[in-house]
Amino acid sequence: MTKQEKATHIAEILEKFYPETPVPLEHTDPYTLLIAVLLSAQCTDERVNKITPHLFEQADDPYAMADLEVDHIRQIIRPCGLSPRKSKAISELSKILIDKYDGAVPESFELLEELPGVGHKTASVVMAQAFGVPAFPVDTHIQRLAYRWCLSTGKNVEKTEKDLKKLFPKELWNKLHLQIIFFGREYCRARGHDMHSCPICSLYGRKSLMK
Protein backbone atom coordinates (compact mmCIF):
# COMPACT_ATOMS: atom_id res chain seq x y z
CA MET A 1 0.00 0.00 0.00
CA THR A 2 1.34 3.42 -0.93
CA LYS A 3 1.49 6.30 1.52
CA GLN A 4 -1.21 8.04 -0.50
CA GLU A 5 -3.53 5.03 -0.24
CA LYS A 6 -2.83 4.85 3.48
CA ALA A 7 -3.67 8.54 3.89
CA THR A 8 -6.93 8.09 1.99
CA HIS A 9 -7.95 5.20 4.25
CA ILE A 10 -7.00 7.14 7.40
CA ALA A 11 -9.19 10.03 6.22
CA GLU A 12 -12.07 7.58 5.77
CA ILE A 13 -11.56 6.20 9.28
CA LEU A 14 -11.50 9.68 10.78
CA GLU A 15 -14.65 10.66 8.90
CA LYS A 16 -16.39 7.59 10.29
CA PHE A 17 -15.41 8.44 13.86
CA TYR A 18 -15.92 12.21 13.59
CA PRO A 19 -18.40 13.20 10.86
CA GLU A 20 -19.04 16.43 12.76
CA THR A 21 -16.19 18.68 13.88
CA PRO A 22 -17.32 21.56 16.08
CA VAL A 23 -14.63 24.14 16.77
CA PRO A 24 -13.23 23.24 20.22
CA LEU A 25 -12.61 26.83 21.30
CA GLU A 26 -15.73 28.79 22.16
CA HIS A 27 -15.99 32.07 20.26
CA THR A 28 -18.50 34.36 18.58
CA ASP A 29 -16.50 35.98 15.78
CA PRO A 30 -12.99 36.08 14.23
CA TYR A 31 -11.66 38.36 16.95
CA THR A 32 -12.75 36.21 19.89
CA LEU A 33 -11.47 33.13 18.05
CA LEU A 34 -8.09 34.82 17.52
CA ILE A 35 -7.82 35.62 21.22
CA ALA A 36 -8.91 32.11 22.24
CA VAL A 37 -6.37 30.47 19.93
CA LEU A 38 -3.62 32.74 21.23
CA LEU A 39 -4.53 31.73 24.79
CA SER A 40 -4.50 28.04 23.88
CA ALA A 41 -0.72 27.98 23.39
CA GLN A 42 0.62 25.45 25.91
CA CYS A 43 -2.85 25.30 27.47
CA THR A 44 -5.82 22.97 27.03
CA ASP A 45 -8.90 24.06 25.13
CA GLU A 46 -10.98 23.11 28.17
CA ARG A 47 -9.13 25.58 30.37
CA VAL A 48 -9.28 28.32 27.74
CA ASN A 49 -13.05 27.85 27.49
CA LYS A 50 -13.32 28.39 31.25
CA ILE A 51 -11.33 31.63 31.10
CA THR A 52 -12.59 33.36 27.96
CA PRO A 53 -16.17 33.97 29.19
CA HIS A 54 -14.74 36.12 32.01
CA LEU A 55 -12.42 37.93 29.62
CA PHE A 56 -15.00 38.48 26.87
CA GLU A 57 -17.58 39.66 29.38
CA GLN A 58 -15.35 42.67 29.89
CA ALA A 59 -13.94 42.97 26.37
CA ASP A 60 -15.07 41.01 23.32
CA ASP A 61 -13.79 43.39 20.65
CA PRO A 62 -10.48 45.20 20.01
CA TYR A 63 -11.79 48.57 21.20
CA ALA A 64 -12.88 47.33 24.62
CA MET A 65 -9.78 45.15 24.97
CA ALA A 66 -7.46 48.06 24.16
CA ASP A 67 -9.04 50.01 27.01
CA LEU A 68 -8.13 47.36 29.58
CA GLU A 69 -4.87 47.58 31.46
CA VAL A 70 -2.41 44.86 30.49
CA ASP A 71 -2.11 43.83 34.12
CA HIS A 72 -5.89 43.41 34.34
CA ILE A 73 -5.88 41.14 31.30
CA ARG A 74 -2.99 39.20 32.82
CA GLN A 75 -4.90 38.58 36.04
CA ILE A 76 -7.88 37.17 34.15
CA ILE A 77 -5.89 34.88 31.86
CA ARG A 78 -3.33 33.74 34.46
CA PRO A 79 -4.71 30.14 34.59
CA CYS A 80 -3.89 29.74 30.87
CA GLY A 81 -0.18 30.08 31.55
CA LEU A 82 2.37 32.45 30.02
CA SER A 83 0.09 35.29 31.13
CA PRO A 84 2.67 38.12 31.03
CA ARG A 85 3.49 37.42 27.39
CA LYS A 86 -0.05 36.62 26.30
CA SER A 87 -1.65 39.64 28.00
CA LYS A 88 0.87 41.97 26.37
CA ALA A 89 0.24 40.40 22.96
CA ILE A 90 -3.55 40.61 23.35
CA SER A 91 -3.36 44.28 24.25
CA GLU A 92 -0.91 45.16 21.49
CA LEU A 93 -2.65 43.24 18.70
CA SER A 94 -5.99 44.79 19.68
CA LYS A 95 -4.52 48.27 19.26
CA ILE A 96 -2.99 47.28 15.91
CA LEU A 97 -6.34 45.96 14.68
CA ILE A 98 -7.89 49.32 15.53
CA ASP A 99 -5.12 51.41 14.01
CA LYS A 100 -4.55 49.39 10.82
CA TYR A 101 -7.73 47.42 10.13
CA ASP A 102 -10.60 49.46 11.62
CA GLY A 103 -11.02 46.85 14.33
CA ALA A 104 -11.39 43.90 11.96
CA VAL A 105 -9.28 40.75 11.89
CA PRO A 106 -7.40 40.62 8.56
CA GLU A 107 -8.20 37.67 6.29
CA SER A 108 -4.60 37.00 5.37
CA PHE A 109 -2.00 34.55 6.65
CA GLU A 110 0.76 37.11 6.21
CA LEU A 111 -1.05 39.96 7.96
CA LEU A 112 -2.18 37.74 10.83
CA GLU A 113 1.37 36.50 11.38
CA GLU A 114 2.55 40.09 11.69
CA LEU A 115 0.40 40.54 14.82
CA PRO A 116 2.04 40.14 18.24
CA GLY A 117 1.74 36.62 19.64
CA VAL A 118 0.35 35.20 16.39
CA GLY A 119 2.41 32.49 14.76
CA HIS A 120 1.71 30.37 11.70
CA LYS A 121 -0.36 27.79 13.58
CA THR A 122 -2.59 30.44 15.19
CA ALA A 123 -3.03 32.21 11.85
CA SER A 124 -3.91 28.90 10.18
CA VAL A 125 -6.59 28.13 12.76
CA VAL A 126 -8.17 31.56 12.31
CA MET A 127 -8.05 31.38 8.53
CA ALA A 128 -9.57 27.88 8.54
CA GLN A 129 -12.18 28.19 11.25
CA ALA A 130 -13.15 31.86 11.03
CA PHE A 131 -12.85 32.48 7.30
CA GLY A 132 -13.10 29.01 5.75
CA VAL A 133 -9.80 29.34 3.90
CA PRO A 134 -8.06 25.97 3.38
CA ALA A 135 -5.34 25.54 5.99
CA PHE A 136 -3.81 22.66 7.91
CA PRO A 137 -2.86 23.91 11.37
CA VAL A 138 -0.29 21.53 12.84
CA ASP A 139 0.61 21.50 16.51
CA THR A 140 2.80 19.06 18.40
CA HIS A 141 -0.17 16.68 18.87
CA ILE A 142 -0.87 16.40 15.14
CA GLN A 143 2.87 16.14 14.53
CA ARG A 144 3.01 13.19 16.95
CA LEU A 145 0.12 11.35 15.26
CA ALA A 146 1.44 11.96 11.76
CA TYR A 147 4.70 10.39 12.89
CA ARG A 148 2.96 7.45 14.55
CA TRP A 149 0.93 6.81 11.41
CA CYS A 150 4.01 7.03 9.17
CA LEU A 151 2.61 10.00 7.28
CA SER A 152 5.57 12.24 8.12
CA THR A 153 9.06 12.00 9.55
CA GLY A 154 7.94 14.22 12.41
CA LYS A 155 11.12 16.33 12.40
CA ASN A 156 9.20 19.57 13.01
CA VAL A 157 5.70 20.98 12.62
CA GLU A 158 6.61 22.84 9.44
CA LYS A 159 7.74 19.66 7.71
CA THR A 160 4.71 17.75 9.01
CA GLU A 161 2.36 20.42 7.64
CA LYS A 162 3.95 20.18 4.20
CA ASP A 163 3.78 16.37 4.25
CA LEU A 164 0.10 16.30 5.24
CA LYS A 165 -0.87 18.93 2.69
CA LYS A 166 0.67 16.78 -0.03
CA LEU A 167 -1.21 13.67 1.09
CA PHE A 168 -4.71 15.05 1.66
CA PRO A 169 -6.98 17.03 -0.71
CA LYS A 170 -7.21 20.72 0.08
CA GLU A 171 -10.97 20.52 0.58
CA LEU A 172 -10.39 18.17 3.56
CA TRP A 173 -7.76 20.20 5.40
CA ASN A 174 -9.99 22.36 7.61
CA LYS A 175 -12.05 19.44 8.87
CA LEU A 176 -9.27 16.88 8.92
CA HIS A 177 -6.99 18.73 11.31
CA LEU A 178 -9.84 18.81 13.84
CA GLN A 179 -10.63 15.14 13.25
CA ILE A 180 -7.01 14.24 13.98
CA ILE A 181 -7.08 16.30 17.19
CA PHE A 182 -10.33 14.68 18.36
CA PHE A 183 -9.05 11.20 17.50
CA GLY A 184 -5.79 11.83 19.33
CA ARG A 185 -7.56 12.92 22.48
CA GLU A 186 -9.86 9.91 22.56
CA TYR A 187 -7.99 7.02 20.94
CA CYS A 188 -4.35 7.93 20.36
CA ARG A 189 -3.05 9.70 23.44
CA ALA A 190 0.57 10.58 24.04
CA ARG A 191 0.96 8.49 27.18
CA GLY A 192 -0.27 5.04 28.11
CA HIS A 193 -1.34 4.38 24.55
CA ASP A 194 -1.83 0.81 23.33
CA MET A 195 -1.02 1.06 19.63
CA HIS A 196 -2.21 -2.49 19.01
CA SER A 197 -5.78 -1.61 20.00
CA CYS A 198 -5.86 1.81 18.33
CA PRO A 199 -8.16 1.87 15.26
CA ILE A 200 -5.43 3.54 13.18
CA CYS A 201 -2.13 2.58 14.83
CA SER A 202 -3.11 -1.09 14.72
CA LEU A 203 -3.24 -0.76 10.93
CA TYR A 204 -0.61 1.82 10.12
CA GLY A 205 1.38 2.47 13.30
CA ARG A 206 5.13 2.94 13.09
CA LYS A 207 6.62 -0.50 13.76
CA SER A 208 9.44 0.86 15.91
CA LEU A 209 6.84 2.19 18.38
CA MET A 210 4.71 -0.97 18.57
CA LYS A 211 6.80 -3.04 20.96
Compute the distance between CA of residue 106 and CA of residue 195 in angstroms, rounded to an integer: 42
Q: Which of 113, 112, 118, 73 is nearest to 91 (CA)?
A: 73
Look at residue 92 in the predicted model and tell me its pLDDT: 98
Look at residue 192 in the predicted model and tell me its pLDDT: 87
Compute the distance between CA of residue 149 and CA of residue 183 in angstroms, rounded to an integer: 12
Catalytic one of 139, 162, 163, 165? 139
For residue 1, pLDDT over 90 is answered with no
For residue 210, pLDDT over 90 is answered with no
Look at residue 207 in the predicted model and tell me its pLDDT: 81
Average pLDDT over residues 101-114: 98
Q: What residues contact 97, with CB distance under 8 A and at least 6 apart?
A: 31, 62, 103, 104, 105, 115
For the chain, domains (ranges, CATH) are 3-21+136-209 (1.10.1670.10), 30-129 (1.10.340.30)
Tens-place pLDDT, residues 140-197: 889 999 999 999 987 899 999 999 999 999 999 999 999 999 999 999 998 888 999 9
159 is catalytic: no
Average pLDDT over residues 15-30: 96
For residue 211, pLDDT over 70 is answered with no
Look at residue 208 in the predicted model and tell me its pLDDT: 74
Compute the distance between CA of residue 194 and CA of residue 179 in angstroms, rounded to an integer: 20
- The DSSP string of 41-105 is TTS-HHHHHHHHHHHHHH-SSHHHHHHS-HHHHHHHHGGGS-HHHHHHHHHHHHHHHHHHHTTPP
Catalytic one of 29, 121, 162, 170? 121
60 is catalytic: no
Compute the distance between CA of residue 153 and CA of residue 137 in angstroms, rounded to an integer: 17
Compute the distance between CA of residue 90 and CA of residue 106 in angstroms, rounded to an integer: 15
Average pLDDT over all residues of the chain: 95
Compute the distance between CA of residue 209 and CA of residue 211 in angstroms, rounded to an integer: 6
